[in-house]
Amino acid sequence: MSQALDEIKIGGLGASRKRVEDDRFIRGRGNYTDDITLPGMLHMEILRSPLAHARIKSIDASRAWNVPGVRLVLTGEMMATRNLAWMPTLSYDTQAVLATDKVRFQGQEVACVIADDPYIAKDACEAIDVEYEPLPAIVNPVQAVADGAPVIRDDKENQPDNVIYNWEVGDKAGTDRAFEQADVVSKLKLHYPRSHPSPIECCGSIADFNRATSKLTVYMTTQAPHIIRAAVAMVAELPEHLIRIVSPDIGGGFGNKVPVYPGYVCSILASILLERPVKWIEDKSGNLISTGFARDMYLDSEMALRKDGKILGVRIHADADHGAFFSDAQPSKFKIGLLHSAFAAYDIPAGHLTARGTYSNKAPGGVAYRCSFRVTEAMFFQERMMQAAAFDLGIDQAEFRRMNFVQDEQFPYRTAFGFLTDSGQYAKCLDVGLKAVGYEEFRQQQAAARKRGKLLGLGISTMTEPLGAGNSREYDILGIKMFDSADLKVHMTGKAILRTGTKSQGQGHETTWAQIVAHELGLPAEDVVVEEGDTDTAPFGMGTYASRSTPVAGAAVAMVSRKIRAKARKLAAHLLEVSEEDIEWELGRFYIRSAPDRGVTIAECAMAAYANMPDGMEPGLENTAYYDPPNLTWPFAVYIVTVEVDPETGVWDVLNMVAVDDCGVRINPMIVEGQIMGGLTEAYAMSSMQFITFDAEGNCVGSNYMDYLLPTAWETPGFELHSEVVTPSPHHPIGAKGIGECAAVGGPAAFVNAVMDAISGTGVRNIDMPLLPDRVWEAITYRRDISGAPPVRADD
């Protein structure tokens, strides 16, 4: 007699199953792009511009062609003859593949050399003679719109200046009225600096064009292989069925591996021209100087308040510095991404947001880095503003948040900027956090410490994030709707293979997707192998970013399992010789309602699908599901940090950090905690130490690991994680919400708010990230804000 299975024992929903992928990763048996060697493979290196803005007077590659072992030198001029000097971006702009007329940022791709080995290719790059005529560089939005500013994109018709867009959303008149009625208006101005995801593995590709079969295979570091296939088919006009994109193991993506980069395009063209496999592996400085930049946004805003603490309205203005090309990889029709998710957790009657995007002589920026398309800026600004407003009102910062939260019974809630949030228990999360950190006691300690000249501070940050792009009504990439997929094949012995259109870069999909199948079908998770990333075998999907995998592909996994279960039920009825209506399901087993002892396991049904199906039934036990989510999922979190600041040096230490995350039902609690810890570490890094800036000539300062710091276990503080609040998403088949980015999104404001709270006696309202000790010291000593990048003068 079979019995219902123990869900945790079979690695189902809620099991902290060890990550199956780690076995090969920690044994050094992963298979990354750079691990792949193909017969006859050549190597490509890129020559990058040393200048940020310059006209190209000439490129002479003759010395490079003469270097022994060089097979091909690609220049913009050659790309232009194939109409490939420029490529379209996902934001409907164009981006240079190899520069023809001008270089527009330091590190821009100017030429490529393909040679027998990477060292020859690198040396030959240096034998390319490029004559530049330097032009003045623009490195911030103030300079971009100044009178007489040089036009960066003079390649474009109808582009008389450096403005990319002016965009707005919300209710201007209603917001104006709110400000007229306000007792207090609170203002804040800040800069969210450029940041870089900096995954361990850089970007790379191996293109392999086979003239005999006309098939193009590309192994590459992409988070979204099917989108790349579509882009190659459309841009290079190659037949889609003869393109195979394979993402092997990826050593961290964090958004860096979503866009299409010139290196991919050049390696593909080189392989087609040479009919040999061509490998390009970006080096660390190439990665840090040219790909994956995020943020770089100036926010200047105000909040209308009633003196009892009620928020009446918000006005937000954002200036986004996009760099030389508008190449945000984001799927919404909103120019500034989901920035207007700001304040979604608060019940605010009116809001108006204006945004302006400008070009500069910096690498393309705005790529999402562990952020659902500008949500990081939105939540950072929101929580900095909440603290400033509470301070201006003289109301306790926790209380001020609580009184303005969207209440549990208000869901689904329509925000002032038009989003529909799905569910949450915001006040409960805050309470858990305050209790864990010992809020009241800390306030007393803080007051006592101050008397001794010690500066203690406590910072709160909350975040809600629109995750799961997206429902096809509102989200698309170049017109392609944003659903995702799962394909499940159950073999006759009850073992299975699951394929999805997403692509893990470290998130653990091979582990968690199998857990969803285990939950739905009662097949032990270890009997389900998960495969992603090969467009020849995976069902069409939009890839992994914006923490969309669980909300979208995870839902598809549940749905395809249910399709399989429906067929298995018919097989069970046949095996048990009763009608389908008399069959009941419990985990792993169908049984006869009136005779619960008589049942069959799901594995027995699988065998029957191949060996003993009823007459007229199609054999096999396989299916595919495509899932178009009805809405985004909206996880919520509260992060609380306590710090001690040394006023003599500006050095600050984290005393405690508490994280309360509600991402709905957790598939694998251990993986979720890993995601949160990783995100908090990145949040700490951004707020405390990471700095990439540009000097007056547009030189990228910080494009190396001496200046751009990655936190190690040594400097990263400990985190206390709380999982007691669970609000299932009402529209997700298993109630799960995304989690991958939450801590990186909401974390930074908690650290900054803690330092600002510690020094609140000085009257300083803001210090921009990173809160390096010298900035904190300067703010305390001179009692001044450090807000917005200082204007960069030519004589700086």
* Residues at the interface with ligand MCN (CB under 6 A): 199, 252-255, 370, 505-509, 512, 544-550, 554, 663-668, 671-672, 675, 678, 736-741
Least separation in angstroms between residue 550's CB and ligand MCN is: 3
Q: Which is nearer to ligand CUM, 523 or 671 (CB)?
A: 671
Q: Which is nearer to ligand CUM, 52 or 467 (CB)?
A: 467
512 binds, among ligand CUM, ligand MCN, none (CB under 5 to 8 A by kind): ligand MCN
736 binds, among ligand MCN, ligand CUM, none (CB under 5 to 8 A by kind): ligand MCN
Least separation in angstroms between residue 173's CB and ligand CUM is: 34
3-state secondary structure of 236: coil
Least separation in angstroms between residue 530's CB and ligand MCN is: 10
678 binds, among ligand MCN, ligand CUM, none (CB under 5 to 8 A by kind): ligand MCN
Least separation in angstroms between residue 226's CB and ligand MCN is: 15
Is residue 203 part of the annotated active site? The answer reads no
Q: Is 790 exposed, middle or buried (0-12, 13-18, 19+ CB in 10 A)?
A: exposed
Is residue 223 part of the annotated active site? The answer reads yes
Cβ-contact 306, 68 below 8 angstroms? no
277 binds, among ligand CUM, ligand MCN, none (CB under 5 to 8 A by kind): none
Least separation in angstroms between residue 504's CB and ligand CUM is: 11
Q: Which is nearer to ligand MCN, 304 or 742 (CB)?
A: 742
By C-alpha distance, which of 409, 139, 450, 474 is closest to 293? 139
Spatial neighbors of 742 by CB under 8 A, at least 6 apart, are: 463, 465, 547, 635, 637, 661, 663, 675, 676, 679
Other C-beta atoms closer than 10 Å to the C-beta of 783 total: 11
The helix, strand and coil proportions of the chain, stated in percent and rounded to the nearest 5, come to: 30, 25, 45
Q: Which is nearer to ligand MCN, 459 or 506 (CB)?
A: 506
Closest residue (Cβ) to ligand CUM?
255
519 binds, among ligand MCN, ligand CUM, none (CB under 5 to 8 A by kind): none
Q: Which is nearer to ligand MCN, 277 or 292 (CB)?
A: 292
- Selecting among 104, 370, 374, 765, the annotated active-site residue is 370
Cβ-contact 663, 738 below 8 angstroms? yes
Is residue 580 part of the annotated active site? The answer reads no
Between CA 550 and CA 733 the distance in angstroms is 11
Q: Which is nearer to ligand CUM, 54 or 542 (CB)?
A: 542
Q: Which is nearer to ligand MCN, 570 or 666 (CB)?
A: 666
258 binds, among ligand CUM, ligand MCN, none (CB under 5 to 8 A by kind): ligand CUM
395 binds, among ligand CUM, ligand MCN, none (CB under 5 to 8 A by kind): none
Strand partners, 102: 55
Q: Which residues bind ligand CUM (CB under 6 A)?
A: 223, 253-255, 258, 368-372, 545-546, 741
Strand partners, 132: 56
Residue with tokens 């420029």: 86
Q: Which long-range contacts (CB under 8 A, 24 or more apart) does 234-239 make?
A: 234/478, 235/84, 235/87, 235/88, 235/265, 236/84, 236/265, 236/268, 236/269, 239/214
675 binds, among ligand CUM, ligand MCN, none (CB under 5 to 8 A by kind): ligand MCN
Between CA 127 and CA 69 the distance in angstroms is 13
List Cα–Cα distances, 701 to 203, 705, 753, in angstroms.
21, 11, 27
Between CA 745 and CA 752 the distance in angstroms is 13
- Selecting among 203, 266, 371, 742, the annotated active-site residue is 371
Cβ-contact 323, 357 below 8 angstroms? no
Residue with tokens 């050049």: 266
671 binds, among ligand MCN, ligand CUM, none (CB under 5 to 8 A by kind): ligand MCN
Look up residue 34 and give its two tokens.
Answer: 């750079």
Q: Which is nearer to ligand MCN, 35 or 180 (CB)?
A: 35
Is residue 741 part of the annotated active site? The answer reads yes
Spatial neighbors of 791 by CB under 8 A, at least 6 apart, are: 140, 142, 143
β-pairing verdict for 278-281 and 54-60: unpaired
Q: Which is nearer to ligand CUM, 5 or 745 (CB)?
A: 745
Least separation in angstroms between residue 21's CB and ligand MCN is: 10
737 binds, among ligand CUM, ligand MCN, none (CB under 5 to 8 A by kind): ligand MCN
Q: Which is nearer to ligand CUM, 223 or 675 (CB)?
A: 223
Cβ-contact 656, 754 below 8 angstroms? no
Least separation in angstroms between residue 507's CB and ligand MCN is: 4
Look up residue 379 and give its two tokens.
Answer: 């939540």
3-state secondary structure of 218: strand
Could you write out the DSSP letters of every residue in 443-501? HHHHHHHHHTT-EEEEEEEEEE--BS---TTTBEETTEE--EEEEEEE-TTS-EEEEES
Least separation in angstroms between residue 336's CB and ligand MCN is: 18
Q: Which is nearer to ligand MCN, 47 or 338 (CB)?
A: 338
Least separation in angstroms between residue 153's CB and ligand MCN is: 29
Least separation in angstroms between residue 796's CB and ligand CUM is: 32
Between CA 56 and CA 53 the distance in angstroms is 10
Between CA 427 and CA 407 the distance in angstroms is 8
Our measurement of the distance from residue 727's CA atom to the centroid of its chain's CA atoms, rounded to an integer in Å, reads: 23
- Selecting among 382, 741, 742, 765, the annotated active-site residue is 741
- Selecting among 223, 382, 446, 507, the annotated active-site residue is 223
152 binds, among ligand CUM, ligand MCN, none (CB under 5 to 8 A by kind): none
Least separation in angstroms between residue 677's CB and ligand MCN is: 10
Other C-beta atoms closer than 10 Å to the C-beta of 705 total: 12
> Which phi and psi (to 5°) does residue 294 adopt?
-125, 170
Spatial neighbors of 556 by CB under 8 A, at least 6 apart, are: 483, 484, 485, 486, 500, 501, 541, 625, 626, 627
For the annotated catalytic residues, the residue numbers are 223, 370-371, 741
